Amino acid sequence: MPIPLSIAPHVDCLDTDLLGIPAYGATYVVRGTDGVALVEVGTSLCVPPILAGLEALGVDPAAVTHILCTHVHLDHAGAAGHLLAHLPNACVVIHSRDHRHLAEPSKLVASVQEAVGPLFAHYGSVRPVAPERLRPAETLSLDLGGGVRLEAVPTPGHSRDHVAYFLPHAGLLCTGDAAGVSVLGHTLQRPVTAPPAFDPAAMARSVETMRALAPAGLCFTHFGLHPDPPAVFDRLAATLRQWDEWVRDRGLEAAGRSVYEANLPPPGVEPAEVWRYIAEMNRRGFLQAYAEGSGR
């Protein structure tokens, strides 16, 4: 089991082994004097490593007061209902438009199955969340005590409901998918364009929203702490512009093939089949956005 990594005072990173890929999915444990928050929780298959990580950190499950999810996709929020069975004092914080999907998840599960295709077996199951344990994310200002706070940063683009979380005490921004992924030791960086609601223009605006916070570091769900936010924002903005140019100059299908290739890791990185499915999912979401006119 991976050892929790301390990334700032009161903030630790857990590797959840998301999709069976090491260093691909993170849960951030934020500890104040009055409570503990988990930021991002992955799929239901991530529950054992999260609970083991809390034990390794010496965190009593009863001390966890909040589960913060950036959006409702199952690789970010799928474990929430399962974790509540182990965290008796926790509530789930997610955009209010998603409350109905976690309270009654059948439509959510069907949508995810359609979006991820053959990857669906890696997404586990979803347990409903009681409505009284749901809180809106978009207006969150959470004081965990001891100077530790989390502030909501609405960041649509990857999805309409996306909310990042800023930790002023450490200058850290938990980006979810708003800043894309930064994996394989931050050598593979690209936007996340999964269907059904990728909006490149909204994502570009959210990049500038995040830039304006001047964070000292970015806590990627996929994966880990990046110490140079301006470089990430510059690269992400440039990639979105480049992909937009590909559509104009090469046509949509050729641009989609280039997006697919941009999502692939170097040869030899395993599990190769899962990486190919991820690349294809992002290709389809990219094509859908431009076909429906949400491209810039």
180 touches 193 (CB < 8 A): no
* Stretch 252-257: mean pLDDT: 97
Closest CA to 282 of 255, 250, 242, 245: 255
pLDDT one-digit tens code per residue, 175-225: 999 999 999 999 999 999 999 999 999 999 999 999 999 999 999 999 999
Which residue type occupies 80? Answer: A
Above 80 in pLDDT, residue 294?
no
Position 148 scores a pLDDT of 98
Torsion of CA 99, 105, 107, 112, to 10 degrees: 100
**Angle 124-122-87 (CA atoms, 0-180°, nearest 5)?**
35
Position 1 scores a pLDDT of 60
Which residue ranges form the domains of the chain, and what is each CATH number?
Answer: 5-291 (3.60.15.10)
pLDDT one-digit tens code per residue, 32-45: 999 999 999 999 99
Closest CA to 167 of 192, 186, 191, 140: 140
Residue 173 structure tokens: 């921004």
pLDDT grade, residue 296 (50/70/90)?
A: low
